[in-house]
Amino acid sequence: MLQQTQVKTVIPYWERWMTELPDIKALAQAPLVKILKLWEGLGYYSRARNAQAAAKLIVEKHDGVFPHNFQDVLNLPGIGRYTAGAICSIAFNMPTPILDGNVTRVLSRCFGIAGNVKEKATNAQLWNLAQELVKRAESLPDLRLAGISDCALQIAENFSYDRTSFAQHTGKSTSLSGNCSALNQSLMELGALVCMPHQPDCSSCPLNPYCIAHQTNRVDNFPHTAPRPQTVQRRFIAFIVEREQKFLVQQRPAGVVNGGFWEFPNIEVDLQTTNLDSASKPFQILGSKPLCKIRHSIMHYRIQLEVYRADTSKNGTWKSLSQLQALPMTAAHQKILKHLV
């Protein structure tokens, strides 16, 4: 749930999820519709499907016990190198590195890594650095770190990386202490709360005596990234066809974006189209004004969804409002539903 999503957003979802699906077996056996409903509104729905696929694999291959071996964790659906590293270091205190956006920012600034962090060679350099740091942490005494600032302080007091440039710059030769779990959490939290993308709080950062970017007044130069893809505008028309208090809906097929979710029938139209009647066939739009317009974003797409009441000779699945409320729908179509209640 926390991939690409903030903790405060996740908390209510997590609590509902754990009430409904309290263990791996319950998740493995749950109907997909229930899982999607619990995830509704959280986005990136492949995570929910992967979580269930992983639970099934754990039940089948690991007797229902979450594996404690890095390679087995990495083999679970939906878990890549970063997530496997985070699980194994944070939960099991193993010396596995992590490299997300926050850690990349901290390391590239602190060690003055100038290459484009999206490029293979620089990315490999950052992974190697993260690996070296956590390996050093492993051999040192276990630390019980009370909170974020303490974690950051531990890094500050003990952070060292004996690359020539860093040693020359800082003149420090202390060794890193702390355990793997504390180190990785500290790096993540420092990136999230202190070393932010814009206007990092260098004056209160415990790493500032050692940070190459800060010491050389080049914080804005790190991390070096490729320009973001340009945003693309898209326009969709959704049709609300109602008969005897039931609405025509469709389920998105498996394997496409938001597969398994329910939605009102809709089409994509050209941004400039003014003749909606011909673009809308076999739907006939009723009235000239939309019921509502919904704007939302998916990745670099900025989407406008215009919603019209309509009629059609097309047949399909008809659901009442209460039936629709019990089905998983994407956030945009949930908003349409609220206009109908």
Q: DSSP per residue over 270-290, as a string?
A: -TT---HHHHHTTEEE-SSS-
Residue whose CB is less far from ligand SF4, 20 or 132: 132
Chain positions 16 to 75 lying near ligand SF4, rule: CB under 6 A, are: none
Q: Which of 37, 105 has the CB closer to ligand SF4?
A: 105
Site for ligand SF4 in 303-322 (CB under 6 A): none
d(C-alpha 141, C-alpha 179), whole Å: 7
Residue 219, interface with ligand SF4 (CB under 6 A)? Answer: yes
Q: How far apart are the first and last CA of the chain?
A: 29
Q: Which is nearer to ligand SF4, 102 or 334 (CB)?
A: 102
Q: Which of 205, 240, 332, 337 binds ligand SF4 (CB under 6 A)?
A: 205
* Identity at 250, one-letter amino acid code: Q
Beta carbon of residue 77, minimum distance to ligand SF4 (angstroms, whole number): 35
Sign of CA dihedral 77, 79, 84, 87: negative
Positive/negative CA dihedral, 114, 115, 121, 122: positive
Q: Would you say 35 or 211 has its CB closer to ligand SF4? A: 211
148 binds ligand SF4 (CB under 6 A): no
136 binds ligand SF4 per the rule CB under 6 A: no
Task: Give how far Cα 169 sits from Cα of 200, 209, 214, 340, Å.
Answer: 21, 10, 11, 64
For residues 188 and 285, which CB has a smaller minimum distance to ligand SF4 in the complex? 188
Closer to ligand SF4 by CB, 115 or 259: give it: 115
Number of residues that bind ligand SF4 (CB under 6 A): 15
Q: Are 134 and 95 in contact (CB under 8 A)?
A: yes
Report the site for ligand SF4 in 80-109 (rule: CB under 6 A): 106, 109
- In angstroms, the CA 27 to CA 20 distance is 9
Residue 188 CB, shortest distance to ligand SF4, in Å, is 13
CA 244 – CA 36 distance, rounded (Å) = 28
- Give contact residues for ligand SF4 (rule: CB under 6 A): 106, 109-110, 194-195, 200-202, 205, 207-208, 211, 213-214, 219
